[in-house]
């Protein structure tokens, strides 16, 4: 297999290549607290030629009754490919995805990047620093929606990028299970979205936000290696619903482990795991020896912050 391309593009690169006919841009801004905010931000101003990619309708499949598959199930590959083609993205396009990490929305672009890579599209990238970096570089904004000619996107799905609940439960010894949520959610102290607090037993916590620096740019390979503390171990990464885990998957690739059998996403994540009451849950911190497995605790609530 061809080695994966470096997963980031700079704002300077985007400005230099924005008029290239093969370049396409996805605006992935979104807010779990108010699903309309991303669309409104796009309508107020976006990168010229950018297409809006909605987390709920474009980058996720339908939620199943009972919660199996999680709150943001993977879209059907054919449906996602059809949408990509309808907005002018084909197999020959270079796709740059951006969001707004300055507003705590630094994982939606990574979700789009991961989905494209899952479909076998290697020329997919995340804009380092997102929309704020583009504007700071002098990039102009427009409210005009593009009308790209339809294209053909033929998916070549890579199932080795995905782990199921069974894969998680039966993971081989030596596999590191990474929980990407905020530490208080991981420990079961607060759960603003899902019906159950806690984490999957044996998981370690690596908050996704640590992948970015204070300015919303991605930290370098050495920093990612240090914060993930995964070494060469195979990893399965999850979050609440398979969205905010994406930055840790990208970070792992920056650290030298490309997406694949050793860098997989548990797509359904915590919201899928707890859909089956027979699956065990834990609170506390596995890394410090304070983890407690079952019984299922009451669920403390709070404001939505992460997927």
Residues acting as catalytic residues: 239
Query: What whole-number distance in Å separates Cα of residue 26 and Cα of residue 46?
Result: 10
Does a cis peptide bond (omega within 30 degrees of 0) precede residue 70? no
Q: Three-class SS of residue 250?
A: helix
Kind and range of the H or E element at 167? helix 165-169
> How many other C-beta atoms lie within 10 A of the C-beta of residue 47?
25
Contact indicator for 89, 121 with CB cutoff of 8 Å: no
Residue identified by tokens 């919201």 is 271
The crossing angle, in degrees rounded to 10, of helices 246-254 and 221-228 is 120
Query: What whole-number distance in Å separates Cα of residue 237 and Cα of residue 111?
Result: 13
């Amino acid at each position: 297999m061809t080695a994966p391309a470096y997963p980031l593009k700079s704002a300077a690169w985007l400005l230099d290549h924005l008029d290239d006919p093969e370049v396409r841009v996805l605006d992935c801004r979104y807010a779990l607290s108010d699903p309309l905010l991303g669309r409104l931000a796009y309508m107020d101003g976006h990168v010229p030629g950018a297409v809006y990619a909605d987390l709920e309708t474009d980058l996720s499949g339908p939620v199943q009754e009972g919660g199996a598959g999680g709150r943001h199930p993977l879209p059907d590959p054919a449906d996602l490919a059809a949408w990509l083609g309808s907005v002018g993205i084909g197999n020959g396009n270079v796709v740059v995805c951006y969001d707004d990490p300055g507003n705590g929305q630094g994982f939606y672009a990574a979700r789009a990047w991961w989905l494209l890579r899952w479909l076998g599209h290697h020329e997919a990238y995340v804009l380092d620093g997102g929309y704020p970096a583009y504007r700071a570089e002098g990039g102009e904004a427009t409210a005009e929606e593009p009308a790209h000619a339809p294209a053909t996107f033929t998916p070549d799905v890579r199932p080795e990028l995905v782990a199921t609940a069974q894969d998680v439960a039966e993971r081989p010894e030596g596999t590191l299970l990474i929980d990407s949520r905020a530490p208080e959610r991981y420990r079961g102290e607060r759960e603003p979205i899902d019906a159950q607090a806690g984490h999957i037993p044996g998981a370690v916590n690596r908050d996704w936000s640590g992948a970015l620096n204070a300015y919303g740019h991605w930290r370098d390979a050495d920093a990612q290696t240090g914060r993930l503390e995964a070494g060469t171990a195979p990893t399965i990464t999850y979050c609440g619903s398979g969205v905010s885990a994406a930055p840790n998957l990208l970070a792992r690739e920056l650290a030298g482990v490309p997406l694949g059998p050793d860098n997989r996403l548990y797509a359904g994540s915590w919201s899928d795991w707890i859909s089956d009451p027979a699956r065990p849950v834990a609170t506390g911190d596995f890394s410090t020896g304070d983890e407690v497995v079952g019984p299922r605790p009451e669920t403390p609530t709070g404001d939505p912050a992460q997927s």
